[in-house]
Structure 1
Amino acid sequence: MATMKSVTTGAQNHIDLVDVERPVPGPKDVLMKIRACGICGTDTFFLHLGGMPAGADGSMRSIPLGHEPAGEIVEVGAEVTELKVGDRVVVNPQGVPSGIIGCGGEHGGMSEYLLLEDAEIGKTVAVFPDTVPYDVASLNEPMAVARHCVNRSEAKPTDKVVVFGAGPIGLGATIWLKLRGVEHVVVADVIPERLETALAVGADAVINSATEDVTARLTELHGQAANALGQPRAGTDIYIDAAGVAAVFNATVDAAKWGARLVMVAVQKKGADIDLGGMLRSELTLIASQGYPTEIFEVTPELVEHHERFAKLISHRVPFLDAERAFELAMTPGAAEKVVVTFE
C-alpha cells in the first residue's frame, strides 16, 4: 500500500502530520500532486476547536486540512478526457462529492497528493500556465472569496471605497476594486506593515485605525457628505469589512453617509452591539458576502494575468515538512499576512 503524508487536526491548537493511504483515482477521477497550499482562517478555526463536531455529545473528530491547493496532475482516470498528466491546476474545494476539501470532507489539500473525484474543467479544476508559480496559483480560492465580496458591493468606477482589514481577503478585494476601475480605495488596519502592502498592491491611501480618527480621515480623503438628518458624514460610498471585529461596524455607522453600503465578508469573531439607530439615520445597507457562488474559476485568468501583483500578498512560504511552524505563524496574531506551504 502506497502512503503519503497529510496534515490533520490534532489536539486543540495543534496539527498532526500523519501517514495515510495514497488515494487511487477511479475512472472519472484524477490524482493531483500538491505543489503549494495556503493556510486560511478556516483552517485555524478548526484547530482552535480541535477538529469538527462529531455528534450531539460534543465530541470532535479529526479532519484533513487545506482547501487552497495548487498542483500538478500525475494520474488520470480512463474516462477523463479534458485533463492530462502534467496539467497545472487549481481546485474548487466545493466541487467534489465526498464533502468540501479541507473543511470536513474526506480529503484535504494540505497533503502530498489529493484525489479529485469527477474531475471536470470549470467544475472541479481550472488549468493555469507555467508562467504562474504554484504558490501564487494557490491564492485562487481566497481571491474568489474577495472577488465575490467586490461583486456583491456592485462598486462603480466613481465610487469611493474603504476596506477594513489588510489581510489576504481585504488586500484581494483592494486589487479587484482597482482592476474594476474604482476611483479611490482606502485600506484601514492597525498593523503598519500590512498598510505598506496595501499601498504596494494599489490602494490609493491607508488609515492606521489604531492611531487615526477614521471618520475624520475618510472625510479628508472622500469629502464631506451627510446622513438623512443632515449631520456631517464622510463621502465614502462603500465600506468593506474584511476584519471581522465589532470596531468596524462602529466606525462604519459613525462615518456612513445617507445611502452608504457595508459589505461583510469577514467572519465575525464576537457578537457586537450595533447602533441600529445610526444605521437608520444613514439608511445604511448591510450586505453579506459568503464564499464564491460563481467566482471560483472566474478569477483564474486575471490571477494569471496579474500574478506578480497578487504575489505581494504572500508573506511566508514554509516547506511542507515544517508545516507545524507554518500553522503556528498563521495562528499568531500579527505574525504573518499570508502563509503558503510549499511542497518539493
Structure 2
Amino acid sequence: MRGVHLPGNSTTEIREVPDPEPGPGQVLLAMRASTICGSDIRAIYREHAQGDPAEMYQGVVAGHEPAGEVVAVGPGTVRLQVGDRVCVYHISGCGQCDDCVRGYQISCSAPQRAAYGWQRDGGHADLIRAEERDCIVLPDFVTFLDGACVACGFGTAYEGLVRAQVSGRDGLAVVGLGPVGLAAGLLGGKLGAVPRVGVDPSPERRELALRLGAVDAAFAPEDVEAARAVVGGGAHVAVDCSGSEPGRGTAIALVRQRGRVVLIGEGNGLTVPEVSPTLIHPSITIIGSWVTSLEHMRELVARLPVWGLHPEVVVSDTFPLADAEEAYRLADAGRSGKIALVP
C-alpha cells in the first residue's frame, strides 16, 4: 500500500509499504478520509521536534486524524465488525493507567503510548491498523470527512468548551480562526454561546469564519476593543486556538471580569507584565486543555446528528493521496480551512 512519510524540511514522501494485518484486539481500516493537523505542520512537516516524547516522530506513516471502514478484524475483537464506519482517537495508550481508564490516552505516560502518525502508522495511507478500543463508530449522519475532523480538531475544541462550561449564558471569543478555531466557534454556537467574535490576522480566515457562521463578527488583532464591544464589553469565555504568545495575550484582553480563558493552541510563551491588574483583580480563570477524552469524543459524535452539524464544513480543500505534497504545502501556508487527504 501507499503511505505518506514526513522526513522534515517541509517535504513529503509517498512510499510503498507492506499492507498491515490486524493482530489481537485490532482492526484494519480502509482509509476514507485523513485530515492534516496544525501540529503535524509545526512539529513534523517543518522539522522534527525533539525533547518531548509525545512529539518524537518515529518515521512512521503520517496522519493522526483518520476515518475509515473496517475491512478486517483480528482475534479477540468484541465490538466492531467488517463494514463499520469509524473514526480513530489518535493516541493509543497502555489501557491500564488512570488516564487511560478515564479515556484520556493523550495523557498516558506508559512506554506503550503511541500516537497514530507520530509513533505508529497513521491515516495518510490506503490502510491503517488500529486498536479496536481507539475506534468510535460513526452514525449514518456523520460522514467519513466529518469523522476525520472530529478525530482531533473538533474533539480538541469541544474539550476546551466543555472544560470552560460554555453555555447560552456566555459570550464567546475565539482567537485564531484556523480549523480548530472554526470548530470552537461552530461548537460554541451549538452550546448556546451568543454572541461569538473571532480574532485572526488573516483576512482570508476571518472571511471564512464569517461565511461558515463560526462567528458573528471577526476582527484583526489590533481591533480588540471593537471585538470586546460586540460581546458587551468583554467575553465571558475566550478560547485561544492560535498557540502563539500574542494570541494568548489577546484572549486574556478579550474577557470581562471573572471571565474564563481556555488555552488550546500548542506552543510556548505567556507574557502578563502586570499580573495583579490583569489576572488577580479581575479574577480571570485560565484553563489549559489538551486534546480530549474518548468519552467526550463519543459524546460529540453522538450530538452531531442532533445539532445537524457537519464538521466537514471547515474543510476547504481535499486531495488524493498522490498529491500529499501539494496538500501539506497549502496547509502550511495558514490561509485556508482544513485540508484533507481522501485516498
> In structure 2, what is the Cα distance between the partners aligned to 1:60 and 1:261?
34
Q: Report the TM-score when normalising by structure 1.
A: 0.84
| Contact 1:7-1:65 at 8 Å conserved across structures | yes
| Contact 2:30-2:70 at 8 Å conserved across structures | yes
Question: How far apart are 1:253 and its partner, in Å?
Answer: 4.1
Q: 1:309 to 1:195 in 2, by over 3 A?
A: farther
Q: 1:87 to 1:312 in 2, by over 3 A?
A: same
Q: Secondary structure at the match of 2:180?
A: helix
Question: How far apart are 1:143 and its partner, in Å?
Answer: 0.9
Question: How far apart are 1:140 and its partner, in Å?
Answer: 1.4
Question: In structure 1, what residue type is equivalent to 2:143?
Answer: P
Equivalent residue, structure 1, for 2:67: 70
Equivalent residue, structure 1, for 2:340: 340
1:191 corresponds, among 170, 194, 202, to 202
Q: 1:11 to 1:198 in 2, by over 3 A?
A: closer
| Contact 1:252-1:262 at 8 Å conserved across structures | yes
Equivalent residue, structure 2, for 1:231: none
What are the superposed Cα offsets for residues 22-73 of structure 1, whole Å, 9 maximum, x if unpaired? 11112422111111100001211233454454999xx985232111011111
> In structure 2, what is the Cα distance between the partners aligned to 1:325 and 1:138?
19
Equivalent residue, structure 1, for 2:256: 257
What are the superposed Cα offsets for residues 156-205 of structure 1, whole Å, 9 maximum, x if unpaired? 31111111111111111112211112232112222233223323443452
> In structure 2, what is the Cα distance between the partners aligned to 1:292 and 1:60?
21
Matched, 1:25 2:39: no
Higher relative contact order (CA 8 A, sep 6+): 2
Select between 245-254 and 182-191 the one with higher mean Cα deviation: 245-254
| Contact 1:239-1:261 at 8 Å conserved across structures | yes
Question: How far apart are 1:208 and its partner, in Å?
Answer: 2.0
What are the superposed Cα offsets for residues 134-156 of structure 1, whole Å, 9 maximum, x if unpaired? 22221112211010010111123
Question: In structure 2, what residue type is equivalent to 1:300?
Answer: V
Structure 1 alignment gaps of length 5 or more: 224-233
Alignment of 1:84-99 (within 5 A): 84-95=81-92, 99=113
Structure 2 alignment gaps of length 5 or more: 95-111
More helix per residue: 1 or 2? 2
> In structure 2, what is the Cα distance between the partners aligned to 1:217 and 1:92?
35
Matched, 1:271 2:269: yes
> In structure 2, what is the Cα distance between the partners aligned to 1:32 and 1:246?
39
Identity %: 27
Equivalent residue, structure 2, for 1:227: none
> In structure 2, what is the Cα distance between the partners aligned to 1:338 and 1:178?
19
Matched, 1:105 2:105: no
1:213 corresponds, among 223, 246, 249, to 223
Q: 1:156 to 1:17 in 2, by over 3 A?
A: same
Alignment of 1:1-344 (within 5 A): 4-48=1-45, 50-51=47-48, 53=50, 61-95=58-92, 99-117=113-131, 119=132, 123-141=133-151, 142-203=153-214, 205-210=216-221, 213-219=223-229, 221-223=230-232, 234-268=233-267, 270-275=268-273, 276-277=275-276, 278-293=278-293, 294-306=295-307, 309-334=310-335, 336-343=336-343
Q: Report the TM-score when normalising by structure 2.
A: 0.84
Question: How far apart are 1:222 and its partner, in Å?
Answer: 2.5
Question: How far apart are 1:264 and its partner, in Å?
Answer: 0.6
| Contact 2:142-2:310 at 8 Å conserved across structures | no
| Contact 1:54-1:61 at 8 Å conserved across structures | no
| Contact 1:189-1:209 at 8 Å conserved across structures | yes
Q: 1:198 to 1:81 in 2, by over 3 A?
A: same
What are the superposed Cα offsets for residues 108-134 of structure 1, whole Å, 9 maximum, x if unpaired? 1111111113x1xxx321222454432
Q: Secondary structure at the match of 2:76?
A: coil
Q: 1:28 to 1:35 in 2, by over 3 A?
A: same
Q: 1:179 to 1:91 in 2, by over 3 A?
A: same
Question: In structure 2, what residue type is equivalent to 1:145?
Answer: T
Computed over aligned residues only, the root mean square deviation of the Cα atoms, in angstroms, reads 2.6
Q: 1:45 to 1:102 in 2, by over 3 A?
A: farther
Question: In structure 1, what residue type is equivalent to 2:231?
Answer: H
**Size of the alignment, in residue pairs?**
320
